[in-house]
Amino acid sequence: MLNEKLHSYIDDLIGERNPLLMEMEAYAKEHEVPIMELVGIETMLQLLRLHRSGKILEVGTAIGYSALRMAVALPEAKIITIERDEERIQLAKAFIGRSGHERRITLIEGDALEVEKQVSDYAPFDAIFIDAAKGQYQKFFELYSSYLNEDGMIITDNVLFKGLVAESEIESKRTRNLVKKIDGFNRWLMNHHDYDSVILPVGDGVAISKRRGERK
Ligand SMILES: C[S@@+](CC[C@H](N)C(=O)[O-])C[C@H]1O[C@@H](n2cnc3c(N)ncnc32)[C@H](O)[C@@H]1O
């Protein structure tokens, strides 16, 4: 979203992560695993710190990078994270196992839309982080927001989808359909009666939704 120069300026100012996290970043780059962008994740971590989130639900673990970043940034927090891809589940388990934070991270294996029962055992959550199949954001939000604390916050990544949500002409039909879904989600979210939301143009676009104290 920011111009390239500013983007790398900010990236350069961000301190190095611990060796395991750096190894995960390198792995993700080499194997094209879509982990959250650096400025996006730093923004999310800062919000979680300010919010003092104690229990966090993550939809979309991939190799466990963001789950581990949350565990490191919030030393008291417990993270429940869902992943359906078998290969990534094994990688996440291995990385988390090496991190020393395994007791605070619970990996739920399966499709997020089918493991509600298991997830509900860990509810309520102070924060929910949605970072899975982009076409299903509204379903994830609707399903899991009922397990959010009164004062909870929902963070959704990739809502600007490389800026494509603002493009009027997109050649690929598949991309066009996906952009339409993300745009639909953004409009639905921004008009949601129970949440105050803002979309930040950082990383790939991060939506922050705060539950309203009083239900309308
Ligand atoms: C963008 S990656 C997650 C990146 C991770 N949050 C990070 O920043 O390190 C999205 C992941 O969500 C998983 N995923 C997509 N749809 C899912 C679903 N319905 N249930 C569970 N996992 C899903 C994909 O397999 C993929 O590994």
Q: pLDDT tens digit string along 149-180?
A: 999 999 999 999 999 999 989 889 999 999 99
Separation of CA 62 and ligand 1 centre (Å): 5
Q: Which residues contact 54 (CB under 8 A, 6 or more apart)?
A: 76, 77, 78, 126
Q: Of 82, 157, 87, nearest to 113 (Cα)?
A: 82
Q: What is the mean pLDDT of the chain?
A: 95
Question: Does ligand 1 come within 6 angstroms of the Cβ of 21?
Answer: no
Confidence of residue 3 (pLDDT cuts 50, 70, 90): confident
pLDDT given at position 170: 87
Question: Does ligand 1 come within 6 angstroms of the Cβ of 113?
Answer: yes
DSSP 62-108: TTSHHHHHHHHH-TT-EEEEEE--HHHHHHHHHHHHHHT-GGGEEEE
Question: Mind listing the pLDDT tens digit for each residue in 16-55?
Answer: 999 999 999 999 999 999 999 999 999 999 999 999 999 9
Confidence of residue 5 (pLDDT cuts 50, 70, 90): confident
Q: Whose C-alpha lies nearest to ligand 1, atom 25?
A: 85
The two structure tokens encoding residue 171: 């050649």
Question: Does ligand 1 come within 6 angstroms of the Cβ of 204?
Answer: no
Query: Among 3-7, 30-34, 143-147, 152-156, which is the least confidently predicted range?
Result: 3-7
The model's pTM:
0.95
d(CA 5, CA 11): 10
Q: Whose C-alpha lies nearest to ligand 1, atom 10?
A: 132
What is the pLDDT averaged over residues 96-110?
98
**What angle (nearest 5°) sits at the alpha carbon of residue 58, between those of residues 179 and 36?**
55
State the distance between the two ends of the chain, measured CA to CA, in whole angstroms.
Answer: 34
Question: Does ligand 1 come within 6 angstroms of the Cβ of 28?
Answer: no
Helix (H, G, I), strand (E, B) or coil at 53: coil
pLDDT given at position 216: 45
What is the pLDDT averaged over residues 203-209?
96
Separation of CA 63 and ligand 1 centre (Å): 9
Q: Of 91, 33, 44, nearest to 72 (Cα)?
A: 44
For residue 196, the surrounding DSSP H or E stretch is strand 195-200
Question: Mind listing the pLDDT tens digit for each residue in 60-79?
Answer: 999 999 999 999 999 999 99
